């Protein structure tokens, strides 16, 4: 009869271990090679972006007219910049805009230094997260994990292996699915968020069935019952 107890124990351990498989829950699994991560990520400016453009130079007073509180990119992708006039900025990266402005301002200022920042950088996160909604950030180096963290993380039912990112590329909507359970996701072009990205996290069907996830108290009760029955049988 002792074999009954042994077999019951093995079955219990098998059921419990199979249910807690980490493959569906753990982020960045596998070989972690971060050598290809783009540390020079540079977001692309879009229509309706609110830009902070700070100009500094040796002659402080000469730069004052260029330092407005902010610049709104209009529907045509332009800003009205002092002295220079309307400038096309949509489609430019932050680095490219800095370079262009520096070139244009060298005829007006001595060695101008330009700092550009997107003031209204935001990402929308929907689906199976704790706090869905629009997430605003004070900087434009935002990763998908930053957006997920600002949303209170994914639930245990979320499809981490099939996260949808809707991205606007020069007026064209693109639909992209990523697997954040894989370590090589950090090398993906969707590791860093673009302005106005939409992240949608789908629920697994298992959420409908509450027994799909491991419940230690439940399994402990079952094991205790089986053990009791086994002991009674062996008497």
**CATH number of the domain encompassing residue 166:** 3.10.560.10
CA dist., res. 12 & res. 24, Å (int)? 21
Q: Is residue 235 part of a domain?
A: no
CA 84 to chain centre: 37
Question: Could you tell me if 170 and 201 lie in one domain?
Answer: yes
Of 95, 118, 141, the residue at which a domain comes to its end is 118
Q: Under DSSP, is residue 97 helix (H, G, I), strand (E, B) or coil?
A: helix
% the chain with pLDDT above 70: 72
What pLDDT does 212 receive? 46
pLDDT tens column, 166-183: 998 877 899 999 999 999
What pLDDT does 109 receive? 94
Question: Could you tell me if 82 and 197 lie in one domain?
Answer: no
Question: Could you tell me if 131 and 193 lie in one domain?
Answer: yes
Question: Could you tell me if 175 and 192 lie in one domain?
Answer: yes
Q: Counting beta carbons within 10 angstroms of the beta carbon of residue 78, is it exposed (0 to 12), middle (13 to 18) or buried (19 or more)?
A: middle
CA dist., res. 216 & res. 235, Å (int)? 29
What pLDDT does 136 receive? 95
Q: Is residue 11 part of a domain?
A: no
Tokens of 87: 């400038």
Question: Could you tell me if 113 and 126 lie in one domain?
Answer: no
Q: Is residue 178 part of a domain?
A: yes
CA dist., res. 31 & res. 95, Å (int)? 32
Query: What is the extent of the structural domain holding 173?
Result: 30-39+121-208
What pLDDT does 22 receive? 59
CA dist., res. 106 & res. 112, Å (int)? 7
Neighbouring residues of 226: CB distance < 8 A, sequence distance ≥ 6: 8, 12
What pLDDT does 176 receive? 96
Question: Could you tell me if 79 and 192 lie in one domain?
Answer: no
What pLDDT does 144 receive? 96
Taking 50 as the pLDDT cut, the residues of the chain under it are 16, 19-20, 210-213
Using only C-alpha atoms, the chain has a radius of gyration, in whole angstroms, of: 27
CA dist., res. 79 & res. 162, Å (int)? 38
Look at the chain and report how many structural domains it folds into: 2
Question: Could you tell me if 56 and 131 lie in one domain?
Answer: no
Question: Could you tell me if 92 and 141 lie in one domain?
Answer: no
Question: Could you tell me if 190 and 158 lie in one domain?
Answer: yes
Question: Could you tell me if 35 and 54 lie in one domain?
Answer: no
Q: Under DSSP, is residue 211 helix (H, G, I), strand (E, B) or coil?
A: helix
Question: Could you tell me if 125 and 203 lie in one domain?
Answer: yes
Element containing residue 56 per DSSP (H, E): strand 50-56
Question: Could you tell me if 130 and 35 lie in one domain?
Answer: yes
What pLDDT does 26 receive? 83
Q: Is residue 13 part of a domain?
A: no
The CA-to-CA distance between both ends of the chain, in Å, stands at 9
């Amino acid at each position: 009869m002792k074999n009954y107890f042994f077999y019951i124990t093995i079955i219990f351990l098998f059921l419990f271990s199979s249910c807690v498989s980490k493959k569906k829950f753990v982020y960045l699994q596998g070989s972690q090679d971060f050598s290809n991560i783009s540390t020079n990520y540079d977001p692309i400016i879009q229509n309706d972006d609110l830009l902070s453009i700070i100009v500094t130079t040796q002659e402080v007073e000469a730069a004052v007219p260029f330092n407005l509180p902010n610049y709104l990119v209009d529907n045509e992708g332009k800003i009205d910049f002092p002295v220079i006039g309307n400038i096309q900025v949509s489609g430019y990266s932050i680095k490219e805009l800095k370079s262009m402005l520096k070139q244009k301002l060298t005829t007006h200022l001595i060695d101008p230094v330009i700092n550009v920042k997107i003031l209204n950088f935001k990402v929308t996160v929907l689906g199976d997260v704790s706090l869905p909604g629009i997430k605003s950030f004070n900087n434009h180096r935002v990763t998908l994990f930053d957006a997920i963290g600002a949303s209170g993380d994914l639930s245990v039912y979320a499809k981490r292996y099939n996260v949808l990112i809707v991205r606007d590329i020069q007026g064209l909507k693109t639909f992209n699915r990523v697997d954040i359970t894989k370590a090589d996701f950090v090398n993906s072009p969707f590791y860093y968020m673009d302005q106005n990205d939409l992240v949608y996290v789908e629920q697994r069907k298992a959420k409908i069935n509450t027994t799909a996830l491991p419940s230690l108290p439940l399994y402990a009760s079952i094991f205790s019952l089986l053990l009791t029955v086994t002991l009674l049988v062996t008497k």
